[in-house]
C-alpha cells in the first residue's frame, strides 16, 4: 500500500471471502483493512488454493483460514460457526466471489446454458444472500456487508453476458438485504470496480481489449488501481460510511458516468 490509512477499522473483526492469489481484489481489500486496524479471517474455495492463501493471511497476522466453496452449505455454516467460536461476533464481511463458465464469457448471451446460468447465479449472486443470512446472528451490534460488482450489470459489455445478469441480481440483492437488515444496524453495499487484471477477469474473452478501452476513455484516462478498490472498501466497511447502505459505489476512474459514445 502506498498510502498510509488511519485506524478506521481498529478493533473490528472481518471475514474476507475470495482471495485466490495476490492479484485478487479481495487481497487488496484485506491489506487495506488490515492496515486500517482490522483483525481478519479468510476463506478459500479450492483445497489446492490453501497453500496460496495461507502465506498471504499469515503476512497480515491471521491464522484463521477456512475452506469454503459457496455452493457447499455445510462448509458455509462451518465457517460462521468457527467465527462464532473464535470471536463471538463479526463486524464485516467482504464477498469478492464470482464464477461463470469460460465458454459463456464470449460471443453472445444466447449461448448461455441452463446449467451455466444456474452456476453463475448461485456462485456470484445467491452466495451473497446466503452469506448475509449466516452473518446476521453474529452482527447483533450491527455490521457491514460488502460485495463486488461490475458495470456490465447495468450496460452491455462485450462478452460479459451471463455474468452481467448475475451482477444485476447481486446489486438488486444488495438493496433487498439493506432494506431487511437495516433495522439490526447491518449495512449492505456493493463496490463496482473498474476492470483489473485478475484470475477471474482473465476468464472474460478479449479482456485486454476491455482494459485498453477503459484506460483510453474513462474520465481519469487510466485504469483503476487495485489499491484504490482497497481504500474505497475500507471507507464502506468503516464508520465513515455509517449512513450508507443499499448503495452501489463506483470505483472505476469515472467510466460509469459516460454515455455510449465517449468524447
Catalytic positions are: 150, 160
Task: Kindly state the smallest distance separating residue 140's Cβ from ligand NAP, in Å.
Answer: 26
The β-bridge partners of 250 are 192
Q: Count of alpha carbons within 13 Å of 80, Cβ hemisphere only? A: 19
Four-point Cα dihedral 189, 194, 195, 199, nearest 10: -30
Map residue 159 onto helix, strand or coil: coil
Interaction residues for ligand NAP, span 190-209 (CB under 6 A)? 193, 195-196, 198-201
> Binding of ligand NAP at residue 164 (CB under 6 A)?
no
Nearer to ligand NAP, 89 or 207 (CB): 207
Neighbours of 51 (CB within 10 A): 9
> Binding of ligand NAP at residue 49 (CB under 6 A)?
yes
Angle, alpha carbons 99-22-18 (nearest 5°)? 35
> Binding of ligand NAP at residue 45 (CB under 6 A)?
yes
- Sign of the alpha-carbon dihedral angle for 54, 63, 189, 101: positive
Interaction residues for ligand NAP, span 223-252 (CB under 6 A)? none
> Binding of ligand NAP at residue 20 (CB under 6 A)?
yes
Strand bridging mode 65-67 / 39-44: parallel
Which x/- pattern, by CB under 6 A, does the window 115-154 give for ligand NAP? Answer: --------x------------------------xxx----
CA distance 151 to 91: 27
Task: Kindly state the smallest distance separating residue 7's Cβ from ligand NAP, in Å.
Answer: 25
> Binding of ligand NAP at residue 10 (CB under 6 A)?
no
Q: Tell me the H-state helices in the chain.
A: 25-35, 50-59, 73-87, 114-121, 127-135, 161-181, 207-217, 226-237
> Binding of ligand NAP at residue 46 (CB under 6 A)?
yes
Interaction residues for ligand NAP, span 69-98 (CB under 6 A)? 69-71, 96-98
> Binding of ligand NAP at residue 30 (CB under 6 A)?
no
Written as nine digits, the cell of 223 is 485504469
Least Cα distance to 131 among 148, 152, 153 occurs for 148
Task: Kindly state the smallest distance separating residue 168's Cβ from ligand NAP, in Å.
Answer: 12
Nearer to ligand NAP, 143 or 195 (CB): 195
Nearer to ligand NAP, 10 or 220 (CB): 220
Nearer to ligand NAP, 89 or 129 (CB): 129
CA distance 72 to 74: 6
> Binding of ligand NAP at residue 24 (CB under 6 A)?
yes
Please report, as ranges, the residues that interact with ligand NAP according to CB under 6 A. 18-20, 23-26, 44-46, 49, 68-71, 96-99, 123, 148-150, 193, 195-196, 198-201
Amino acid at each position: 500500500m502506498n498510502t498510509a490509512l488511519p485506524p478506521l477499522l481498529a478493533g473490528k473483526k472481518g471475514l474476507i471471502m475470495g482471495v485466490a492469489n495476490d492479484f485478487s481484489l479481495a487481497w487488496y481489500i484485506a491489506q487495506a483493512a488490515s492496515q486500517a486496524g482490522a483483525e481478519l479471517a479468510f476463506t478459500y474455495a479450492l483445497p489446492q488454493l490453501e497453500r496460496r492463501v495461507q502465506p498471504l493471511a499469515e503476512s497480515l497476522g491471521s491464522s484463521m483460514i477456512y475452506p469454503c466453496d459457496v455452493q457447499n452449505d455445510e462448509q458455509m455454516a462451518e465457517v460462521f460457526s468457527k467465527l462464532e467460536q473464535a470471536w463471538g461476533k463479526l463486524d464485516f464481511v467482504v464477498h469478492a466471489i464470482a464464477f461463470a463458465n469460460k465458454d459463456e464469457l464470449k460471443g453472445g448471451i444466447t449461448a448461455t446454458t441452463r446449467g451455466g446460468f444456474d452456476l453463475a447465479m448461485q456462485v456470484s449472486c445467491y452466495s451473497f444472500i446466503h452469506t448475509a443470512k449466516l452473518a446476521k446472528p453474529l452482527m447483533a451490534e450491527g455490521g457491514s456487508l460488502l460485495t463486488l460488482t461490475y458495470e456490465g450489470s447495468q450496460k452491455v459489455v462485450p462478452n460479459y453476458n451471463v455474468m452481467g445478469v448475475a451482477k444485476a441480481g447481486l446489486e438488486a440483492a444488495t438493496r433487498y438485504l439493506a432494506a431487511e437488515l437495516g433495522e439490526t444496524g447491518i449495512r449492505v453495499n456493493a463496490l463496482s470496480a473498474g476492470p483489473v487484471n485478475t484470475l477471474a477477469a482473465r476468464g472474460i474473452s478479449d479482456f485486454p481489449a476491455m482494459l485498453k478501452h477503459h484506460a483510453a476513455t474513462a474520465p481519469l484516462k487510466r485504469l483503476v488501481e487495485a489499491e484504490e478498490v482497497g481504500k474505497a472498501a475500507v471507507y464502506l466497511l468503516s464508520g465513515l460510511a455509517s449512513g450508507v447502505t443499499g448503495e452501489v459505489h463506483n470505483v472505476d476512474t469515472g467510466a460509469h458516468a459516460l454515455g455510449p459514445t465517449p468524447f
